[in-house]
Amino acid sequence: MKISLISRSDHYSEWGGDIKALESIRDGLLTLGIDANIIGSVNELANPDFVFLSNTGTDLRGPQKILDLVGIPYGLIGFHEDPIQFYGPSIGFYHYIRNCLDNAIDEEMEFSLEALFENPHLIHYYAAPIRKTNLMNYEILKRTKVCIASCPTEAKTMKRDCPSCNAQVVYWPPGFAEDFGKDPTDEFLHLTGLSSGSYILQVGRLEFRKNQLSTIIASKDLDLPLVFIATKGTNEKYEKSCVDAILKWRKAPTLIVSQTIPPQKEKNLEVIPMPGGEKLSTSMLQSAFYHAGIHVHPAFQELPGFTYFESVALGVPTIASSWTTIKDYFSDPHIDDRITYCLPYDIAGIKELIQKKFGQRYSLAGQVHPIFQRTKQDIARDILCHISLSHSLTY
């Protein structure tokens, strides 16, 4: 049996969690003796028995038509976000902060961070219209043999957007945390000049959804270094706003370890390039998480968010957004109190949690949490099972 996984065709190598998930599936299938590969478009197909399209955040109608035309059965690995929940507020939060930076005034009110600390829900008045990507891919959800969701919350979103879709839950293995070595190194401390346990950490592209602005604003008065590890971004306007907010409001040192932003040092901001312009090595990433005093990631949307796995695996206290789906993986209060949740735009709540949780340490989650026992073979077996149940293929 041969299975092809079609990734985003737009700059395959630039994406993080999506690609890691697809690579885990491919590697798991290979270990089970299945001929599996990842390709960028249907033009690269080489007589597969089954194809998985991926990511309903992009237009999948063209590939679907070709697969229907040539008669190749297909499924969907959704990465199916909930724009009804997150898109408008994420843009509204950005616009509010940008207006504060620009000292803007509208007819109703004067923009201020003080007002936002007092009432974070103000951002909804500046929200943007919802993106309709999920509607665009309605027929894919309806006609595909099986829709793979990474958690029950994502499956519910799929069923809401297309009640007749065959949504099935397959829990991901824990991302890059699988590849972390036994003994974290000090290499990130050597790169940045920071001391162990001294800094706030957020990892991910600088973009609306990842929501670095909440972390910047929430921590602006805290005497703690703030570190962003930022791979290649997609929105220069948002990157500039993050830099502007740091320079205007942050009092303690702020470092951006960037794949693309030029090196600079101004006031309390320093931009450090990633070595060779490449993504940080797994050992460097492990070092960054291990030595953090806290991991903060108030994303407006993550499915489920590999950075949460990576920080939790190393016993680092973690602030997660209540709008992400990581709750579907961590729900036992006896084990999972290392993660605390907040609204992504509640900057006063985020600040309070940073002050409460900073510097706490927990046991290595791999020793106590069952999700860290899940392997690439497990996810591959589950997906093969759903293929066989939905179609006449055997393996």
Under 8 Å between Cβ of 153 and 304: no
Identify the H or E element spanning 286: helix 282-290
What's the pLDDT at 18?
84
Contacts of 329 (CB under 8 A, 6+ apart): 151, 171, 304, 308, 309, 371
Please provide the DSSP assignment of 119-187 as one string: -GGGGGGGPPPPP-HHHHTHHHHHHSS-EEESSHHHHHHHHHH-TTS-EEE-PPP-GGGGG--SS--SH
CA dihedral (273, 279, 283, 285) in degrees, to 10, reads 70
Counting every residue, how long is the chain?
A: 395
Q: What is the mean pLDDT of residues 147-170?
A: 97
Q: How confident is the model at residue 154 (pLDDT cuts 50, 70, 90)?
A: very high
Beta strand segments in 150-268, E: 167-169, 200-203, 226-230, 254-258, 264-266
Give the pLDDT of residue 95: 96
Helix (H) or strand (E) holding 294: strand 294-297
Please tell me the predicted confidence (pLDDT) of residue 135. Answer: 87
Question: How confident is the model over 251-269, as a mean pLDDT?
Answer: 95
Q: Which two tokens stand for residue 38?
A: 């990842």
pLDDT for res 141: 95
Higher pLDDT, 11 or 1: 1
CB atoms within 10 A of CB 117: 15
Distances (CA, A) of 282 to 134, 181, 187, 317: 33, 9, 11, 20
Q: What span, in angstroms and rounded, lies between the C-alpha atoms of 172 and 132? A: 26
Q: Given strand 339-342, what is the order of strands in its sheet? A: 264-266, 269-273, 254-258, 226-230, 200-203, 294-297, 318-321, 339-342
55: left (phi over 0), alpha (psi -120 to 50) or beta: left
Sequence-distant (6+) residues with CB within 8 A of 370 are none
The mean pLDDT of 153-159, rounded to a whole number, is 97
Q: pLDDT tens digits, residue range 167-211?
A: 999 999 888 888 888 889 999 999 999 999 999 999 999 999 999
Q: Where are the beta strands (DSSP E) in 221-289?
A: 226-230, 254-258, 264-266, 269-273
Hey, what domains does the chain have and what are their CATH numbers? 2-82+132-173+374-390 (3.40.50.2000), 175-373 (3.40.50.2000)
**Residue 394 pLDDT greater than 90, yes or no:** no
Q: Specify the residue for token string 């797994």.
A: 282
The residue type found at 296 is: V
If we measure between CA atoms, which residue out of 242, 213, 197 comes closest to residue 350? Answer: 213
- DSSP one-letter code for 373: G
pLDDT score of 367 = 62
Whether pLDDT at 326 is above 50: yes
What was the pLDDT predicted at 222?
Answer: 98
For 41-66, how does the pLDDT look when each residue is reduced to its tens digit (9 = 90+)? Answer: 999 999 999 999 999 989 999 999 99
**This prediction's pTM:** 0.93
8 Å CB contact between 37 and 7: no
Q: Is the pLDDT of residue 366 over 70?
A: no
Q: How confident is the model at residue 395 (pLDDT cuts 50, 70, 90)?
A: very low
Peptide bond into 174 cis (omega under 30): no
Share of the chain above pLDDT 70, in %: 95
Measured distance CA(177)–CA(307) in Å, rounded: 9
Please give the pLDDT value at position 228. Answer: 98
Count of CB atoms within 10 A of residue 1's CB? 17
Sign of CA dihedral 47, 51, 56, 61: positive
Determine which helix (DSSP H) or strand (DSSP E) holds 62, and give its type and residue range: helix 61-70
Mean of all residue pLDDT scores within the chain: 92
pLDDT above 50 for 13:
no
Quote the tokens at residue 24: 């885990």
Q: Between vectors from CA 389 to CA 155 and to CA 141, what angle results, nearest 5°?
A: 40
pLDDT of residue 9: 54
The model's pLDDT over 60-112, given as tens digits with 9 standing for 90+, comes to 999 999 999 999 999 999 999 999 999 999 999 999 999 999 998 888 888 99
Token pair for residue 330? 């961590």
Least confident of 6-20, 220-234, 374-388: 6-20
Tell me how far apart the alpha carbons of residues 113 and 101 are, in angstroms, rounded to a whole number: 10
CA–CA separation, 82 vs 300, rounded Å?
10
CB 294 within 8 A of CB 201: yes
Separation of alpha carbons 347 and 118, rounded Å = 9
Say how many CA atoms lie within 13 Å of 208 toward its Cβ: 17
Tokens of 51: 């194809």
